[in-house]
Structures are given as structure tokens and as C-alpha cells.
Amino acid sequence: MPTPIELLFGPQLKGPLMTEASSSNDQWAGQTAINTAAATATMSTTIVNSDSVILFNIQLATAQASGTRIGMRIKTISSGNYFQVETDDGIKLVTNGVIHWFIMPTS
């Protein structure tokens, strides 16, 4: 049996976390495109619940000297259906991006 990449040593996890993301209605990790002129994006999955911990980040191309910060937050969670993210200020994006997300069930 091969040695796992991630090893648990007491309270610390040493090594990279890896997962395979598939495109299905019960996926728990993935990436979703967010288009120019959009302020929200919807991720459909039956795994999400109102008590789920959702980790996500957004990948965008921005001008280095623009000085603008783009914050995103969870807008809506519909248990067993989908969740939505939106920009903090509700202003639409000026460039295409990708949202990488991961759901950790809590119960």
C-alpha cells in the first residue's frame, strides 16, 4: 500500500490536501466560472446544508496597480440544492474569473 501524501500528526496535518472534483449533483468540491458583468455565481450540489462550512476563493486577473480589492461572500444557501456567492459591494466584476470551492459537512 503506498504511503498517503497527507499524514495526520496529532493536531497538525502535514502535506497537501488533495481531492478529485467531479461534475455531478452530489459534488462537494469544484470550480465554477463567474462571468464579466456578474456579481453572483451559483453552485448546484445536493451536499450543501445550512450548517455546512464552505471554503472558497476567487481567481481573477486584475491590474497590479489598480488598488481595488474584490471580496466575495456567501449570499444564499438552499439546503440540498445550491449555494450562491456574491461580491461584497454588489458591484459586477470587470473581468472573468473562477471560483474554487470546497464543502465540509458538520453533521
- Residue 77 confidence (pLDDT): 94
Specify whether the CB–CB gap between 60 and 68 falls below 8 A.
no
CATH topology for the 27-104 domain: Immunoglobulin-like (2.60.40)
pLDDT tens digits for range 9-42 = 556 656 666 666 667 777 888 888 888 788 888 9
Q: Is a pLDDT exceeding 90 seen at residue 1?
A: no
Q: What gap in Å lies between CA 84 and CA 89, rounded to an integer?
A: 15
User: Rounded to 10 degrees, what is the CA torsion of 30, 18, 15, 56?
Assistant: 10
- Residue 91 confidence (pLDDT): 79
The string over 41-56, giving b where at least 16 C-beta atoms fall within 10 Å of a residue's C-beta and e elsewhere, is bebebebbeeebeeeb
Q: Is a pLDDT exceeding 60 seen at residue 64?
A: no
Q: In what order do the strands lie in the sheet with 72-78?
A: 40-44, 82-87, 72-78
Q: Any idea where the domains of the chain sit in the sequence?
A: 27-104
CA distances from 39 to 49, 87, 105 (A): 23, 6, 26
User: Which stretches of 13-106 are DSSP H helices?
Assistant: none
What residues are paired with 58 via a beta bridge?
A: 99
pLDDT tens digits for range 79-95 = 999 999 988 888 788 77
> Region 48-70: what's the mean pLDDT?
77
- Residue 81 confidence (pLDDT): 93
